[in-house]
Chains A and B, each alone.
Chain A
Amino acid sequence: MSKAIKQNLADSKKMSAELFCLTYGAMVTEMLKDYEDPKDVTIQLDKMGFNMGTRLADDFLAKNANVPRCVDTRQIADVLCRNAIPCYLGISATASSWTSGDREFTITLEANPLTELVQVPAHLVSAGLSYSQLIAGAIRGALEAVHFKVYASATDTGANTEIRIRFDQVLKDSLPAGEDD
Chain B
Amino acid sequence: MSNHIQHLFIINRAGSLIYSWEARTETPEVEKTYEWPIDVHLEEVDQKAVVVFGEKDGIKLRYYVKSVNGETVSGTRLQLGAQQVNVLEYLQEEDHYPVTVKFAAPTVSTNEKIILSSMFHSLFTIAVQLSPCQKSSGVEVLETTQFKLFCLQSRTGVKFVVITSAASNIAADSLLSKMYELYTDFALKNPFYSIDMPIRAQKFDEAIKTLLERAEKNNGAVTF
- Measuring CB to CB, which residues of chain A are less than 8 angstroms from any residue of chain B? 3, 5-10, 54-55, 57-59, 61-63, 65, 69, 145-146, 174-179, 181
Q: Mark B155-198, 1 if CB is under 8 A from A, else 0.
A: 11110000000000000000001101111110011000001000
Nearest first, the 9 closest Cβ-Cβ pairs linking A and B are: A176-B157, A55-B188, A177-B125, A59-B184, A178-B137, A62-B180, A177-B128, A62-B181, A178-B138
Q: Is B24 in the interface zone, CB < 8 Å from A?
A: no
A10-B184 Cα distance, complex, nearest whole Å: 12
Which of chain A's residues have a CB closer than 8 A to the CB of B183?
58, 62
B143-163 contacts to A, CB under 8 A, are 153-158
Shortest distance in angstroms between A83's beta carbon and chain B's nearest beta carbon?
13
Q: Are B188 and A58 closer than 8 Å at their CB atoms?
A: yes
Q: Is B107 in the interface zone, CB < 8 Å from A?
A: no
Number of A-B contacts (CB under 8 A): 71
Q: Are B189 and A179 closer than 8 Å at their CB atoms?
A: no
Shortest distance in angstroms between B48's beta carbon and chain A's nearest beta carbon?
34
Which of chain A's residues have a CB closer than 8 A to the CB of B136?
178
Q: Are B224 and A7 closer than 8 Å at their CB atoms?
A: yes
Q: Are B189 and A59 closer than 8 Å at their CB atoms?
A: yes
- Between-chain CB contacts (< 8 Å), 18 pairs: A10-B181, A54-B195, A57-B156, A58-B154, A58-B188, A59-B185, A59-B188, A61-B154, A61-B156, A62-B177, A62-B180, A62-B184, A63-B181, A176-B153, A177-B125, A177-B127, A179-B157, A181-B134
Chain B's closest residue to A60 (CB) is B184
Having A59-B189, A177-B125, A179-B157, one finds 20 other A-B pairs with CB under 8 Å, namely: A9-B185, A54-B195, A55-B188, A57-B155, A57-B156, A58-B180, A58-B183, A61-B154, A61-B156, A61-B180, A62-B180, A63-B181, A65-B177, A145-B156, A175-B157, A177-B128, A177-B129, A177-B138, A178-B153, A181-B134
Q: Are B156 and A146 closer than 8 Å at their CB atoms?
A: yes
Shortest distance in angstroms between A20's beta carbon and chain B's nearest beta carbon?
15
A62-B156 Cα distance, complex, nearest whole Å: 11
A181-B136 Cα distance, complex, nearest whole Å: 9
Chain B's closest residue to A5 (CB) is B207
Q: Are A3 and B189 closer than 8 Å at their CB atoms?
A: yes
